[in-house]
Amino acid sequence: MVESDHDVALEDTDRIHGRTALVNNVKAASSLAGAIRSTLGPKGLDKMLVDGDGSALVTNDGVTVLEEANVEHPTARLLIDASSSQDRSARDGTTTTVLLVAEMLQNALELVRMGVHPSIIVNGYSIALEEAIKETERVSRESDGEQKSQVIRTSLQGKGDSSVCSLIASLAIEAADRLVEMEGGDDLERIVVKRLQVGEGAVMDSSLVNGLMLLKSRVDANSPENSDGGVVAIIDGGLEQAKLETDASIEVSSIGILQEFHERSRGNLQKQVAHLSSLGVNLLVVRDGIDDEAVTQLTKAGIVAYRRFERSDMDLLSRITGARPTRSVSGLGESDLGTYSKRVEERIADVNHTLIEGDGGGMTLVARGSSPAIREEAIRIFDDAIGVAHRLNSRPGVLPGGGAIQSHLARHLRSFSQSQSGREQLAIEAYASALESIPRILAENAGRDPVEIILSLSADQRESGAWIGFDLQSGENCDMGEMGILDTEFVVRHALSGATEAAIGVLRIDDVLWARTDPSTPVWDGEAEV
């Protein structure tokens, strides 16, 4: 037997399906997009995020707002995942991605209410995406050195003070240019460039330094403070006396056996230090601890030691010096050693910092500022800037910014839709309308009339081409290439692909099953209005 509304097997489950499921999923997407809508563009506003203990974070970064928010709805989480994917892959366009998903879903819902089946809309959106990607390839131009700087500054507009963004953009470009000769793909900028906060100075004092800089001081203050270079060994472990297991015990059968055990442990430490000395090691870095007995011996042997290194710092130091981490000192050989060119220890803001340089090309962004929040925001801006700069070196295509490319794609897709038969034509037109939401929102956030802007932009593009966009500073339509308002092709393409995939994923859902045992289960009563 089957119940009228639910299968008996689902009697402990609340279920919404069909149009009701779509309506509520679209409502969740629209609510999430509304939270970051006003952050888009150079005139976008900031958001203040307050956590449970009252700590506040002020940011303009869309993905930060979304990831810090306490969101439970699964569809909203799907959009956050799409934004996070955009951030990991392209480091820009996160807000645009979420706004596009919400607009695509809103327009799709209108088509469903007109009687168009979701499968038709999914097919139409897929066709529109394929054509939009082809058109971006046709419109794009290859960037030069000057345009690289313009692209980075465009991506940072609205994220902070213009002078701060300009400084960080120059640091990001410098770092990205050094990465060109290295191997590691898109993730290289996360691996090779360490981010370090220093609580002294203003944010404009932030800098990029060669090598690895970290909050560490040498184990023995009597060892040399600085060094002009030498041999380094990295131990993925410690230099400590042997310790008994938690439940282990020593059976003392004769006088002095315990003393003999400790002497044997100390002798083992001496052998390890002697082994390091025989290899010519000047600098020792370990992940775990260094026994007090070994500290004095290391200093006598002329070896400066650092302990309790983070894994990421060890990996970067390995890249910088060429040293290969080994599990123990006894297993260390000449082939595992590396070289460093300089080691400097200095006291900054009453905290000891150490800088180790080598020929491997590692770098450290030293982010300064009067508060942790300011320093964290500077690092977020740098993350976006170097991510775009690094990817631009391998994929130099650029497109007009300021909503120009989205406006052009909307016009192109409306024209293209006329060549399609069937109801997919309606879906392609809905996709075009979603793209047009980007210049509309940019105009709204700048306090301009969005309808007037969209109409004038469309007319000027029809006459002068895809590179005509709206300059929010002057209030005029002009050539985005000449104005230096540029977007990267890979960011635009990834945003289109990510948004379309997320929208299609939601459109394919026609049933939502909620376990009644979950007290946070929302109650859906009929079809809500969006």
Tell me where in the chain the CATH 1.10.560.10 domain(s) lie.
8-142+399-515
pLDDT above 60 (res 7): no
- pLDDT tier for residue 146 given thresholds of 50, 70 and 90: confident
Contact by Cβ (8 Å): 226, 343: yes
pLDDT above 80 (res 511): no
Task: Tell me how far apart the alpha carbons of residues 181 and 81 are, in angstroms, rounded to a whole number.
Answer: 32
The percent of residues in the chain predicted with pLDDT above 90, rounded, is: 64
- pLDDT tier for residue 527 given thresholds of 50, 70 and 90: very low
| Segment 46-105, tens digit of pLDDT | 999 888 788 888 888 888 899 888 888 889 999 999 999 998 888 889 999 999 999 999
Contact by Cβ (8 Å): 307, 254: no
| Segment 225-283, tens digit of pLDDT | 999 999 999 999 988 765 555 555 556 555 555 566 556 667 788 899 999 999 999 99
pLDDT, position 3:
43
Most confident listed range (7-16, 184-193, 290-299): 290-299
What token pair was written down for 277?
């000395």
- pLDDT tier for residue 522 given thresholds of 50, 70 and 90: low
CA nearest to 501, candidates 73, 32, 122, 96: 122
Mean pLDDT value across residues 116-126 = 96
Average pLDDT of the chain is 88
- pLDDT tier for residue 409 given thresholds of 50, 70 and 90: very high
pLDDT above 70 (res 321): yes
Q: Who has greater pLDDT, 116 or 260?
A: 116
145-156 vs 372-394: helix crossing angle, rounded to 10: 140
CA nearest to 455, candidates 471, 440, 438, 474: 440
- CATH fit for domain 213-360, picks 3.30.1360.200, 3.50.50.60, 3.50.7.10, 1.20.1070.10: 3.50.7.10
Q: Give the predicted TM-score (pTM) of the model.
A: 0.83
Task: Tell me how far apart the alpha carbons of residues 369 and 199 are, in angstroms, rounded to a whole number.
Answer: 6
| Segment 443-474, tens digit of pLDDT | 999 999 999 999 999 999 999 999 999 988 88
Tell me where in the chain the CATH 3.30.260.10 domain(s) lie.
145-211+366-395
pLDDT, position 4:
46
- pLDDT tier for residue 145 given thresholds of 50, 70 and 90: confident
Contact by Cβ (8 Å): 234, 318: yes
pLDDT above 90 (res 517): no
Contact by Cβ (8 Å): 308, 285: no
- pLDDT tier for residue 12 given thresholds of 50, 70 and 90: low
Catalytic residues: 61, 94-95, 384
CATH topology of domain 8-142+399-515: GROEL; domain 1 (1.10.560)
- pLDDT tier for residue 19 given thresholds of 50, 70 and 90: confident
- pLDDT tier for residue 494 given thresholds of 50, 70 and 90: very high
Query: Rounded to a whole number, what is the largest CA-CA distance in the chain?
Result: 101
Burial of 441 (0-12, 13-18, 19+ CB in 10 A): buried
CATH topology of domain 145-211+366-395: GROEL; domain 2 (3.30.260)
